[in-house]
Amino acid sequence: MGEMEELRKEAENLKDQITEARKVVQDATLPEVAAGTAVVGRVQLKTRKTLRGHLAKIYAMHWGADTKLCVSASQDGKLIVWDTLTTNKVNAIPLKSSWVMTCAYAPSGNLVACGGLDNMCSIYNLKGKDGNVKVMRELAAHTGYLSCCRFLSDSEIITSSGDCTCVLWDIETGTQKTIFAGHMGDCMSLAVSPDFKTFISGACDFTAKLWDIREATCRQTFSGHESDINAIGFFPNGNAVITGSDDATCKLYDLRADQELITYQDSSIMCGVTSLAPSLSGRLLLAGYDDFNVNIWDTLKGERVGVLAGHDNRVSCIGVSSDGMACCTGSWDSFLKIWN
Amino acid sequence: MSGKVCSSNSVMQARRTVDQLRVEANTDRIKISIAAAQLVQYCQEHSRSDPLLTGIATSSNPFKDKKTCVLL
């Protein structure tokens, strides 16, 4: 087929163009530029609280915007909203499907969402009139598992799925507003930019993509990982993206230089990264691994500056509260821990 | 998907790939020295207010159980 061959050649030419254009701006490296910055020194965080109550593996957690509450999801079929200061369970929500893989807290604090192997994103209203927490909407259209979800507001949520797409939903009507297609593998994780105008997705095609929410387009694609990207997050100023992969590394990609600036790796680390969260200033990267630990990295210099060891099984999720005061880890050992 | 590949589907997919690559090739890129400097600057500007980086005094740590002494 003449056209297929032409298109294939054109694609290769464009990829070479992009590689060359990225090389043109490589006039320095991040560690070089950061050489004059003070060293971070050993970071030692202690477990301040252990949240006990789930009866099976915890797959996801998300802090509320108020910095005191968080929600966690476990394959015991429950969503639990915790008061992290008192360790009390504010809500224990039984799920229709116990195969949950993700959960999210709306910025308003009014709603939580979850989903998983049921291919749906279920929205729960925490502030219902009679005090009971009920399913408000079931967003169904994905043809693969729900890997991640994040609220833009009480009326919009973005989901990522094993069907290789991400979707922006209208929660009121329960319909898909925009489908973001382009990944060639399961979408595993997503994160919304601080200004809510863009979001990033990490997938099993080893790439991360930056999407414009309103234009409904993919603006940039970042490669380099040698295996599935399981975790993704924005650097706090919104100008860089951090990814965590089954290839045992995390990478920081700068959006305006359109390329990777640094890889966080160590020859002694040979297991996959499951989750990640930057600290408030962006100087620290906390990443959860399959070997039950969390490694803390100096994002500018690329050195490991700390380890959080305390779980008896894989760390599946991690989050830093919005005031930066604490880090929460969730594990297959069924516990959540609050560290600072 | 079945083993049969619909040829018009492949062409459409290839066209979409090329269109997307064209968009990405047209991205403006700034020098790494500038991009990196701005990341470093952001970290430095916010480091003093980053509790996990600076550490938190027990008295201002809401997660630390404070043992209070009662004067009898």
Q: Is A39 on the interface with B (CB under 8 A)?
A: no
Instruction: Return the pLDDT at B4.
Output: 36
B4-56 pLDDT per residue, tens? 344 568 899 999 999 999 999 999 999 999 999 999 999 999 999 999 999 99
Kindly identify which residue of chain B lies nearest to residue A339, measuring between CA atoms.
B63
Q: Is A26 on the interface with B (CB under 8 A)?
A: yes
Instruction: Return the pLDDT at B71.
Output: 66
Q: Do A4 and B10 touch (CB under 8 A)?
A: yes
**Is the CB of residue A60 less than 8 Å from the CB of residue A79?**
no
Q: Is residue B63 situated within a structural domain?
A: no
Q: Is residue B61 situated within a structural domain?
A: no
Nearest to A182 by CA among A166, A168, A161: A166
Give the residue numbers spanning the domain of B28. 2-49
Please report the ipTM that was assigned to this predicted complex: 0.94
Instruction: Return the pLDDT at B9.
Output: 81
**Mode of pairing for the β-strands spanning A165-170 and A156-161:** antiparallel
The three-point CA angle A64-A70-A76 to 5° equals: 140
Q: Is residue B58 situated within a structural domain?
A: no
Closest approach of B57 to chain A, Cα-based (Å): 11
Which stretches of chain A score pLDDT less than 70? 1
Q: Which residues between 112 and 171 in chain A have a beta carbon less than 8 angstroms from any beta carbon of chain B?
A: none
Q: Is residue B69 situated within a structural domain?
A: no
Q: Is residue B23 situated within a structural domain?
A: yes
Q: Is A21 on the interface with B (CB under 8 A)?
A: yes
Q: Is residue B26 situated within a structural domain?
A: yes
Q: Is residue B71 situated within a structural domain?
A: no
Instruction: Return the pLDDT at B64.
Output: 87
Q: Do B31 and A15 touch (CB under 8 A)?
A: no
Closest approach of B71 to chain A, Cα-based (Å): 26
Nearest to B42 by CA among A259, A279, A107: A279
CA distance A202 to A207: 6
Residues of B in contact with A8 (CB under 8 A): 14
Which runs of consecutive H residues, i.e. helices, occur in B1-72? Answer: 7-25, 32-46, 51-54
Q: Do B40 and A327 touch (CB under 8 A)?
A: no
Q: How confident is the model at residue B1 (pLDDT cuts 50, 70, 90)?
A: very low
Closest approach of B58 to chain A, Cα-based (Å): 11
Instruction: Return the pLDDT at B70.
Output: 61
Q: How many domains does chain B have?
A: 1
**pLDDT(B3) > 50:** no
Calculate the CA dihedral of residues A173, A174, A178, A180 and round it to 10 degrees.
170
Q: Is A251 on the interface with B (CB under 8 A)?
A: no
Q: Is residue B68 situated within a structural domain?
A: no
Q: Is A307 on the interface with B (CB under 8 A)?
A: no
Q: Is A15 on the interface with B (CB under 8 A)?
A: yes
Nearest to B33 among A4, A27, A37 (CB): A27
Nearest to A30 among B36, B42, B53 (CB): B36
